[in-house]
Every structure is written in C-alpha cells, then in structure tokens.
Amino acid sequence: MANLKEVKQRISSVQSTQQITRAMKMVSAAKLRRAQDKIVQMRPYSQKLTTILNNVSAASEGAADIVYASSREVKKVLIVPITSDKGLCGAFNSNIIKATNHAIRTQFEGKEIQLLPLGKKALDYARKSKFSTVSDFSLVFQDVSFDNVRAAAEYAMDAYVNGDVDQVVLVFNEFKNVATQIIRTEQFLPMKAEETETKSTSEVDYILEPSRAYIIEELVPTSLKIQFYKAVLESNASEHGARMTAMDKATENAGELLKELKLMYNRTRQAAITNEILEIVAGANALG
C-alpha cells in the first residue's frame, strides 16, 4: 500500500489537472457559442445561394459550359482534410485522418493523391504521409475569416480549372450538437448536380441583369467559396464542441479518481494510526 505522502501528492496532482480541464471546458464553451452562431447564420445563406445557382444554371443553355462543373476522367485527386490546430478534443482529429485514409484506400485507389491540409494536425498527418502536400494554408484556424479561407478555396478551384487535379474532395466534421459531430467526405469539384435541379425551373422566375451568363460566371465561384468556408466553419464549431465534451468527461473522471484517492488516503492513514496504537500497547505490555 502506498504511503501517505505518495497518496497526498497524487491527490494534489489530480486536483490541479481537474482545475485545468474545468477551465478548458469553460473556454471551449465560450468559443463554441461564437462558432455555433457563425455556422447557424451561414447555413441558410449557403443553402439559398446554392438553390438560386441551381435554378439559374438549370435554366441556362450554357450550364454545361461551366468550367467548375465539367467532369473528366479522374487521375489526380486533391483531398482537403480539415482538422484543428490543437489536441485534447477526443477523437475529433483522428476521425478525420481515418476518414481520409479510408477514402484514399476505397475511392481513390490507384489515383495520384495531393493533400491540402487545413489545421496543424492535418499538416502533421500530411507530412508523415507519402503524398504531395500543399502546406500554404494549414494555419487557417489561427484566424478563421472568409478572406483566409477564400485563398485556400481559390487554390483548389484554380488547380481544378488548370487541369492540375481532376477532383477535389473535402473531409471535415459537420457540427450537429455539442456531443455529436458527423464526418463528411464531400466532393467539392466538379460541382455535383443537386436535387433541386430535378424540380421544374418554372417554379422560380428570376430577372437577371446584365445577363444570365454573367450572373453564372460571377455566382458560381462565389457559391463554391461559400461552400468551402461553410465546411471550415462546421469544423471549427465541431472542434470546440468536441473539446468541451472531452474536457467535461475528463473533469468527471478526475472527480471519480479523487474520490478513490481520498478513500485510499483515509484507509492508509487509519492503518498507520492503528499500527501506532498497536506499537504503544505492545510497548506498555512489555514494560508491564
């Protein structure tokens, strides 16, 4: 059995750890509110913009000529794994890495893979892999703004238009609630036909100025950048939710461990007192 000093040191250590995890939980909760507000506000805008784009594109004679929608034989794939910069958020980052590896093995086996990591954890994974890596945008989470994310989106879009890659795929966590994040592996480019295109385009009649072709030319890149930004915001909110949940569980586990250690401390202390009493009684009997 451990002595009193060792148990007391362990209790002190666990208490310090519990204070840290409780503080991290509170910080993540505060950040989560802001991140959740951003993604909740972004979703309706992104969905409506996509709906308008689908209606306009479906009604356009030149919809097939949209450069971002032209499909070709897939030989080169650009995968964008989106993780966090820090750990201590449960399986948040490892799930993205597993999903990326799974996609490479199942969907893109035999293809030339290039990685565009967003987040330090994704960058660490990319550097350890055997694939070509573009690390210019890995620090995007140091300042999650549309301007920073747009640069990464434009790189992916230009690579597709120039023929450097034939497909762009995003791997990220979609925010559902604090305790639940859904892993998504979505095709970013070429643009996929949405279900809304199957509906009658006469349901919505748009007046387009100066022309339909000009609107499509301006709207398509904007819509793609918004989708890319939305994926980053989803991942950002999911990260804080995952960290808040992980730190809450760690705080609870520390509390349970403290109960066991305090019980051990009391038992050890009681055993020490009992031994001292026995020694005193034995000494008194010996003198008698």
Across the chain, the runs of DSSP E, i.e. the strands, are: 76-81, 112-115, 132-133, 167-177, 180-189
Q: How many residues would you count in the chain? A: 288
> Does residue 58 have a pLDDT over 80?
no
Structure tokens that stand for 169 in this block: 């795929």
For residue 28, the model assigns a pLDDT of 92
- Give the span between the Cα atoms of 39 and 239, in whole angstroms: 13
- Contact between 183 and 95 (Cβ < 8 Å): yes
- In order of their start, the domains of the chain are 25-245 (3.40.1380.10)
Span of 159-168, 204-213, 270-279 with lowest mean pLDDT? 204-213
Whether the Cβ atoms of residue 75 and residue 112 lie closer than 8 Å to each other? yes
pLDDT digits (tens, 9 = 90+) for 70-106: 878 899 999 999 999 998 998 999 999 999 999 999 9
Predicted confidence (pLDDT) at residue 57 exceeds the cutoff of 70: no
108 φ, ψ (degrees, to nearest 5)? -120, 30
DSSP code per residue over 52-91: HHHHHHHT-TTGGG-TTT------EEEEEEB--SS--STT
Helix axes of 120-128 and 92-106: crossing angle, nearest 10 degrees:
40
Lowest mean pLDDT among 40-44, 79-83, 210-214, 267-271: 210-214
SS3 label, residue 169: strand
Percent share of the chain, pLDDT over 90: 53
C-alpha torsion angle, residues 160, 147, 216, 189 (rounded to 10): 30
Q: Evaluate if residue 46 carries a pLDDT over 90.
A: no
What is the C-alpha separation between 200 and 219, in angstroms, rounded? 21
pLDDT given for residue 275 in this prediction: 84
H/E stretch holding 198 reads none
Whole-angstrom distance between the N-terminal and C-terminal Cα of the chain? 33
Amino acid code (one letter) for 234: E
- ∠ CA 219-42-59, rounded to 5°: 30
Which among 19-28, 38-47, 217-226 has the top mean pLDDT?
Answer: 19-28
Mean pLDDT over 39-59 rounds to 78
- Dihedral over Cα of 158, 161, 165, 168: its sign: positive
Q: Got the DSSP string for 210-253?
A: S-HHHHHHHHHHHHHHHHHHHHHHHHHHHHHHHHHHHHHHHHHH
What pLDDT does 199 receive? Answer: 45
Q: What amino acid positions are annotated as catalytic residues?
A: 89
Distance separating alpha carbons of residues 244 and 201, to the nearest angstrom: 44
pLDDT for residue 56: 67
Q: Find the mean pLDDT for residues 192-217.
A: 61
- Report pTM: 0.83
